[in-house]
């Protein structure tokens, strides 16, 4: 047989799928593929189940505020890595939606027609389906996904559309997708590195963040005391002016309980607010310097807000993005029921030359709004379910415990025995968190039931509190409250927040002239013990299970709470300042170190 000529070989190659832009054996189609349409519909129906199987309920795709607050206590890097892995898995599960959507549409051979009649329509269909399906992946009915979830889901679906469009064009085009995608990933990575370099700088901004002394913290508390809009009478209005300096102090106080230690400055004019912040990027030695200018206010409940300038390092945000950010912020505030309740109570909020003035009236919050807000900020439903089981257990058994004796130890033992039993079919971290929240609600402070999301269990909590009156820790009922309030706050926020609340309470008590009982290092020991107890009980699954085994069969009180002998109480404000140098002074730090040494002697707190 004669060898084919060079022209014949070239003609053959041009007619193959790999070389031809319009393969002859795959003509254009004018009808929708029923098979791929059925595959798309079936996958959309099955996706919530696939997400549930791939991502258990205790590790959902996007963490709640509660989970994010706990990142500092449980290791930020490990938790961030786990969150990233869960996000990638979630995105991978959404890719087939775009893939099936592209294959469902009529096949087109020419590039322009393929983009216009396949990629663009399939992209729109995939994004809409992703929005709908993502709302069902939370496990509790349909709920609109957050903007971040929707953006990531849409990206995954569009990648699927790209894959499907390539596959519909033949095997050669499908194979070429992978090097193209690799080039895109590398390009995006290089752009991200360049953006990061331009957005960060070698030196921080020269800012003077205010130092928060005991007097300043007490002054801020006094300034806002009595200004709760929910306590006003109908028709009553009040006006509160907050200076720019106090705004700086409040912001500094807020960031002081986080892992980051940014420097910041706030200034106001008659129309705008100016914010500057600077923080070091961990491990990289560069600084993220942010400058922002915003204007706006509130008139009769209507919010007007505009970001006029936003700069990250040497990168200035374009005006079109500033307009988009402003519109999204106003839209989110106007459509959020909790934010709407706050806005409706404000008659006027305006910037002044040196601060902000707000005139407000009574704020009425519908009974169903607070639970929704707390559901966003507080523990997830699994933790609340565990806490409710603990409350039912306490409700059945607490009334049978003797009036005197080791009721503190009995309550803790009983709760962690139930947590151990339930952990056979659940996560020990979740069960320990539920046990601590339940104990905090009945032995700490009743307000914790609201902030923990247990506000629907008021009657049961009231009954248990009646059965467990005057439970003492080493002979002190107030130490029981300190211990469990701090433990509960650690579950609801973080170790830093819990410690800050404990110290603030003692600072306020130090003002004996205003009716305080005086600063107490012994109370501070109880606060720290409760904080550390909650942290160790929920640090990871191994330590959570070890805590259950340590407590479920009984324990000596010295395992979770040390002796407080020698720790001074009833310290006046003047003595705290002169003798100990105030909170954070040299003598104060020595006593704090002594407290930490005492806690280290407790087996369960190490």
Q: What is the pLDDT of residues 506-549, one digit of tens each?
A: 444 444 445 456 788 888 899 899 989 988 998 888 999 999 99
pLDDT tens, residue by residue, 34-45: 888 888 888 888
**What's the average model confidence in pLDDT over 436-458?**
77
Please give the residue that has the higher pLDDT: either 481 or 113. 481
What is the share, in percent, of the chain residues with pLDDT greater than 70?
78
550 neighbors 558 (Cβ within 8 angstroms): no
pLDDT of res. 119: 85
User: Minimal CA–CA distance to 439: which of 400, 405, 410?
Assistant: 410
Q: What is the distance, to the nearest Å, from the Cα of residue 312 to the centroid of all Cα atoms in its chain?
A: 23
pLDDT tens, residue by residue, 218-237: 677 777 777 778 778 888 88
**What's the average model confidence in pLDDT over 423-451?**
85
**What's the average model confidence in pLDDT over 147-152?**
78
301 neighbors 362 (Cβ within 8 angstroms): no
> Is the alpha carbon torsion for 325, 329, 331, 336 positive or negative?
positive
**What's the average model confidence in pLDDT over 83-92?**
82
Is residue 226 classed exposed, middle or buried when 0-12, 13-18 and 19+ CB atoms within 10 A define those classes? Answer: exposed
The pLDDT confidence band at residue 179, using thresholds 50, 70 and 90, is very high
Spatial distance between the Cα atoms of 34 and 28, rounded to a whole number of angstroms? 16
- Per-residue burial over 401-421, b if 16 or more Cβ lie within 10 Å, else e, is beeeebbbbbbbbbbbbbbbe
pLDDT at position 148 over 80: no
pLDDT of res. 26: 47
The pLDDT confidence band at residue 207, using thresholds 50, 70 and 90, is confident
pLDDT of res. 373: 54
pLDDT of res. 85: 80
Q: What DSSP letter does each residue of 547-577 carry, written as one string? A: HHHHHTT---GGGT----TT----B-HHHHH
pTM over 0.85: no
Phi/psi of residue 149, nearest 5 degrees:
-60, -45
The pLDDT confidence band at residue 357, using thresholds 50, 70 and 90, is very high
In three-state secondary structure terms, 226 is: coil
Spatial distance between the Cα atoms of 148 and 58, rounded to a whole number of angstroms? 20
Spatial distance between the Cα atoms of 115 and 161, rounded to a whole number of angstroms? 11
pLDDT of res. 24: 42
**What's the average model confidence in pLDDT over 303-324?**
91
**What's the average model confidence in pLDDT over 391-402?**
87
Is residue 494 classed exposed, middle or buried when 0-12, 13-18 and 19+ CB atoms within 10 A define those classes? Answer: buried
Please give the residue that has the higher pLDDT: either 490 or 432. 432
**What's the average model confidence in pLDDT over 491-506?**
51
């Amino acid at each position: 047989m004669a060898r084919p000529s060079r022209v014949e070989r070239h003609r053959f190659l041009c007619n193959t799928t790999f070389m031809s832009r319009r393969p002859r054996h795959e003509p254009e189609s004018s009808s929708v593929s029923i098979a791929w349409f059925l595959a798309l519909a079936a996958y959309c129906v099955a996706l919530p189940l696939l997400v549930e199987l791939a991502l258990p309920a205790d590790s959902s795709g996007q963490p709640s505020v509660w989970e994010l607050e706990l990142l500092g206590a449980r290791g930020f890097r490990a938790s961030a890595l786990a969150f990233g892995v869960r996000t990638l898995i979630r995105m991978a599960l959404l890719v087939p939606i775009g893939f099936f959507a592209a294959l469902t549409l009529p096949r087109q051979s020419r590039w322009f027609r393929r983009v216009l009649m396949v990629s663009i329509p399939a992209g729109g269909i995939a994004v809409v389906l992703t929005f709908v399906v993502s709302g069902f992946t939370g496990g509790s009915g349909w709920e609109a996904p957050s903007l971040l979830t929707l953006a990531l889901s849409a990206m995954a679906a569009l990648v699927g559309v790209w894959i499907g469009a390539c596959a519909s064009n033949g095997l050669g085009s499908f194979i070429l997708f992978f090097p193209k995608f690799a080039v895109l990933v590398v390009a995006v990575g290089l752009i991200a590195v360049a953006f990061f370099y331009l957005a960060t700088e070698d030196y921080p901004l020269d800012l003077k963040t205010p130092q928060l002394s005991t007097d300043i913290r007490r002054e801020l508390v006094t300034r806002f005391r009595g200004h709760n809009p929910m306590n006003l009478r109908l028709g009553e209005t009040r006006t509160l002016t907050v200076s720019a300096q106090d705004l700086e102090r409040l912001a500094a106080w807020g960031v002081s309980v986080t892992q980051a230690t940014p420097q910041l400055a706030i200034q106001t004019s008659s129309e705008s607010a100016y914010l500057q912040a600077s923080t070091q990027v961990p491990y990289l030695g560069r600084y993220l310097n942010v400058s922002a200018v915003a204007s706006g206010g509130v008139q009769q409940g209507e919010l007007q807000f505009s970001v006029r300038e936003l700069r990250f390092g040497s990168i200035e945000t374009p005006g079109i993005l500033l307009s988009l950010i402003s519109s999204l912020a106003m839209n989110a505030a106007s459509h959020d029921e909790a934010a709407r309740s706050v806005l409706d109570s404000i008659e006027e909020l305006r910037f002044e030359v040196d601060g902000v003035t707000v005139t407000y009236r009574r704020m009425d919050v519908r009974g169903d709004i607070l639970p929704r807000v707390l559901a966003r900020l507080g523990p997830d439903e699994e933790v609340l379910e565990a806490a409710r089981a603990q409350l039912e257990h306490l409700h059945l058994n607490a009334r049978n415990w003797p009036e005197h004796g080791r009721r503190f130890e009995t309550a803790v033992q009983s709760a962690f025995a139930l947590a151990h039993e339930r952990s056979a079919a659940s996560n020990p971290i979740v069960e320990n968190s539920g046990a601590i929240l339940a104990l905090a609600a009945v032995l700490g402070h009743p307000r914790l039931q609201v902030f923990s999301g247990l506000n629907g269990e008021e009657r049961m909590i009231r009954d248990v509190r009646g059965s467990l009156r005057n439970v003492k820790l080493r002979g002190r009922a107030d130490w029981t409250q300190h211990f469990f309030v701090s433990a509960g706050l650690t579950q609801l926020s973080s170790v830093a927040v819990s410690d800050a609340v404990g110290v603030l309470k003692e600072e306020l008590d130090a003002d004996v002239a205003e009716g305080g009982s005086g600063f107490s290092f012994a109370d501070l020991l109880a606060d720290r013990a409760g904080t550390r107890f909650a942290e160790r009980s929920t640090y990871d699954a191994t330590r959570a299970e070890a805590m259950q085994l340590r407590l479920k069969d009984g324990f000596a009180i010295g395992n979770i709470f040390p002796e407080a002998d020698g720790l001074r109480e009833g310290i006046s404000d003047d003595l705290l300042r002169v003798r100990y140098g105030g909170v954070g002074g040299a003598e104060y730090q020595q006593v704090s170190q002594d407290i930490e040494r005492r806690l280290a002697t407790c087996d369960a707190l190490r």
